[in-house]
Amino acid sequence: MLEQRLEQLVENTVVSLPEAHTGLVLVVLVGFSFSLSHVFSLLANRLKPRQILLHVLLDSLVLAAALLIASFINMVLIALHTQLLVEPKQFFNAIGGALAPGLFYVLVAAPYVSDLIAIAIWVLIHLNVITLVHLRFGLPYAEVVPLVTPGYVVALVLIALLFRSSWRRSYDRLASEFRA
């Protein structure tokens, strides 16, 4: 029974994902905003415009993929918990709206207050997703928080891994030039 429901959910998601264009566009824009937050270090490293564009585009797509994976995890956990048919098109469009604070992630490039801005945006995103699931499915907050937290943690881990591997190299290169 459980396997059949999961198979049906995955099949519905694959079929209706292209119809969720509003949510997908917002997710890609949020990924782009995340990626733009480190463009100053790329500029400071004297990368050519083509290299900067390539970094920004690839990072934004990977970041958007991380957010989509987290949203899919949320959708699967909600469907399994509620035993309701979750319409993927509507869910991804709604999740796109819940990720809207991420559009301001580009402000994380601001000196001195960047960590505070990043934390505030991540908290707002998580609270939006919690509220969305609470309102859409009528679940109490005590049930919603454990359902959406795994997706949130996965998104944080995936984005931290990208930051560590790609962005960190840019900052290290810049720091080494200042020391020299």
Residue 162: C-alpha distances to residues 104, 123, 168 (Å): 19, 20, 9
pLDDT band of 13, cuts 50, 70, 90: low
The segment with the largest mean pLDDT, out of 79-88, 100-109, 150-159, is: 150-159
Q: Which of 149, 131, 150 is nearest to 140 (CA)?
A: 131
pLDDT at 154: 93
Give residue-wise pLDDT tens across range 112-151. Answer: 787 888 889 999 999 999 999 999 888 999 999 999 999 9
Of 113, 72, 115, 107, residue with least CA distance to 91 = 72
Q: Give the tokens for residue 126.
A: 């998580």
Note the pTM of the prediction, 2 decimals.
0.79
Is residue 14's pLDDT more than 60?
no
pLDDT at 165 over 70: no
